[in-house]
């Protein structure tokens, strides 16, 4: 291999080499960090929420008539919904998981201990909420109908029992979920709440919230003029039942309007839309940068080959086979790209440190760096194959031509 002569020749033509190496380094820096961000977002978007998303939809009922009685309407609506063929169960709830809208609070193990409060999302849900959401109870018991507290929005007094997620139980008690059952936890107002059950998972409403796995379900129906019904259907029944349910509820009570008829899947998609759009934009940026870099490499290779046509002819005359010429330019490209990816590795790490310090992003996994180097080296080789093959086809007779 002609490593030494190629390196010495490159060092005598630094400008083109430096420009392409810088372009490769810059591309690698952006690509490595962009791919990392894409993967991070992808992992976030792929996390399960803990509920039976495929078979859940929700609809909001907003009373407006003078004779509208929200409490009666809820009881009547839930009866109708649960009796509808194809509906597995239904409940009323204040917020939808990963919907970007909901309530949170903090819990402590001692009353008034605000310093050690563990943040948690709170769901106020009616009877049969666990079955409706499809949550898995891993310790304790479900709510009884008699546990449900119906209260006005102005009341700050919660029901006396709560079901929490395993993540919240482990944060609060630093022990397994079973040991949380029967224990009391305290709201910021100092009210004691008894943990009667633990579910495996229920995400909070905010997808990017660091404490998203901490959730608590209170058996409460808050009367505030607006009720969100969560309906779980049998598999494959959702599309048929959504318009039917809307029509049935509309016909049953003309003192209210119905809004926000949506599937859980739509709600999730809406919540992650920015992440999804950002991911697509990053893919476009990556593809564009790779294309531009590849074109830069092709341009440099073509320029370099055209400048050295007579040299290539001379090399062929002196005994270089076509394969030797091809290898020469591939090796030359590996060396230029090698300088670029080494600089790119340093720049990628530096840029990631900047992102970590400025935007509180997680540190990049180490394997992204060698993977990025490999990809850019491969892009360089693929880009230069065409021009190198053209160089290899230069006739040896060119050595004796005067131009």
Partner 1 sequence: MLKMTHIRKVFRTDLVETHALRDISLNVAEGEFITITGPSGCGKTTFLNIAGLLETWTDGQYLLDGQDVAALSDFQRAKLRNQKIGFIFQSFNLMPDLNLFDNVDVPLRYRGMKGAERKDRIERALDSVGLLSRKKHLPSQLSGGQQQRVAIARALVGEPRFLLADEPTGNLDSNTAEGVMELLQSINDAGTTIIMVTHDPSLASRSARNIHFLDGRIAESDHIAVAGQLEAVS
Q: Applying CB under 8 A, which residues contact partner 1?
A: 2, 4-5, 8-9, 12-13, 310-311, 314-324, 395-397, 399-400, 402
DSSP states of 287-318: HHHHHHHHHHHHHHHHHHHHHTHHHHHHHHHT
Write down the least CB distance from residue 385 to partner 1, Å: 19
As a whole number of angstroms, the distance between CA 69 and CA 223 comes to 10
Write down the least CB distance from residue 12 to partner 1, Å: 5
As a whole number of angstroms, the distance between CA 390 and CA 368 comes to 34
CB-nearer residue toward partner 1: 290 or 398: 398
Write down the least CB distance from residue 388 to partner 1, Å: 16
CB-nearer residue toward partner 1: 4 or 48: 4
CB-nearer residue toward partner 1: 335 or 361: 335
As a whole number of angstroms, the distance between CA 314 and CA 245 comes to 83
CB-nearer residue toward partner 1: 141 or 324: 324
Write down the least CB distance from residue 292 to partner 1, Å: 27
Write down the least CB distance from residue 277 to partner 1, Å: 49
CB-nearer residue toward partner 1: 169 or 320: 320
Element holding 348 (H helix, E strand) = helix 322-359
Write down the least CB distance from residue 397 to partner 1, Å: 4
Handedness of CA 279, 281, 282, 286 (dihedral sign): positive
As a whole number of angstroms, the distance between CA 73 and CA 283 comes to 49
CB-nearer residue toward partner 1: 294 or 399: 399
CB-nearer residue toward partner 1: 16 or 119: 16
How is the chain split among helix, strand and coil, in percent rounded to 5? 55, 20, 25
Token code pair at residue 128: 């049969």
What values do phi and psi take at 303, rounded to 5? -60, -45
Write down the least CB distance from residue 35 to partner 1, Å: 37
As a whole number of angstroms, the distance between CA 163 and CA 111 comes to 19
Q: Which residues pair with 162 in a beta bridge?
A: 195
| CB-CB neighbours of 354 under 10 Å | 12
Write down the least CB distance from residue 2 to partner 1, Å: 6
Q: How far is CA 310 from the centre of its chain?
A: 55
CB-nearer residue toward partner 1: 6 or 383: 6
Crossing angle (nearest 10°) for helices 322-359 and 3-11? 60
CB-nearer residue toward partner 1: 258 or 334: 334
- If you ran DSSP here, which 8-state letter would residue 334 be given? H
What dihedral do alpha carbons 49, 50, 55, 61 form, nearest 10°?
A: -70
Q: Which residue has the tokens 């926000």?
A: 260
CB-nearer residue toward partner 1: 28 or 392: 392
Write down the least CB distance from residue 395 to partner 1, Å: 7
As a whole number of angstroms, the distance between CA 306 and CA 218 comes to 76
Do the Cβ atoms of 56 and 133 come closer than 8 Å?
yes
As a whole number of angstroms, the distance between CA 163 and CA 169 comes to 10
């Amino acid at each position: 291999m002609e490593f030494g002569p190629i390196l010495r020749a490159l060092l005598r033509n630094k400008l083109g080499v430096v420009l392409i190496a810088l372009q490769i380094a810059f591309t690698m820096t952006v690509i490595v960090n962009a791919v990392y961000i894409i993967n991070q977002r992808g992992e976030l978007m792929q996390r399960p929420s803990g509920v039976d998303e495929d078979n859940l939809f929700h609809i909001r009922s907003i009373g407006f008539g003078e004779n509208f009685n929200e409490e009666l309407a809820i009881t009547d609506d839930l009866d109708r919904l649960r009796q509808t063929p194809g509906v597995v169960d239904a409940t009323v709830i204040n917020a939808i998981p990963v919907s970007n809208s909901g309530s949170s609070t903090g819990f402590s193990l001692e009353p008034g201990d605000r310093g050690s409060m563990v943040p948690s999302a709170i769901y106020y849900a009616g009877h049969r909420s666990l079955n409706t959401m499809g949550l898995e109870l891993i310790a304790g018991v479900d709510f009884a109908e008699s546990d449900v507290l119906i209260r006005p929005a102005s009341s700050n007094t919660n029901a006396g029992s709560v079901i929490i997620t395993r993540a919240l139980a482990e944060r609060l008690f630093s022990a397994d979920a079973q040991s949380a059952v029967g224990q009391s936890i305290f709201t910021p107002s100092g009210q004691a709440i008894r943990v009667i059950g633990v579910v495996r998972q229920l995400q909070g409403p905010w997808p990017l919230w660091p404490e998203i796995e901490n959730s608590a379900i209170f058996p409460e129906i808050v009367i505030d003029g607006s009720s969100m019904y969560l309906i779980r259907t049998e598999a494959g029944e959702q599309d048929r039942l959504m318009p039917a349910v809307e029509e049935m509820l509309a016909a049953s009570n003309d003192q209210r309007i119905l809004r926000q008829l949506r599937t859980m899947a739509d709600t999730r998609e809406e919540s992650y839309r920015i992440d999804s759009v950002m991911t697509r934009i990053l893919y476009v940026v990556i593809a564009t940068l790779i294309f531009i870099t590849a074109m830069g490499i092709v341009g440099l290779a073509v320029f370099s080959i055209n400048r050295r046509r007579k040299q290539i002819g001379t090399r062929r005359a002196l005994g270089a086979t076509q394969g030797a010429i091809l290898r020469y330019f591939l090796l030359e490209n590996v060396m230029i790209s090698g300088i670029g990816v080494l600089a790119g590795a340093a720049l990628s790490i530096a840029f990631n440190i900047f992102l970590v310090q400025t935007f509180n992003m997680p540190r990049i996994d180490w394997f992204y760096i060698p993977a990025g180097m490999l990809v850019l080296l491969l892009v360089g080789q693929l880009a230069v194959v065409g021009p190198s093959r053209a160089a290899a086809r230069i006739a040896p007779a060119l050595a004796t031509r005067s131009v």
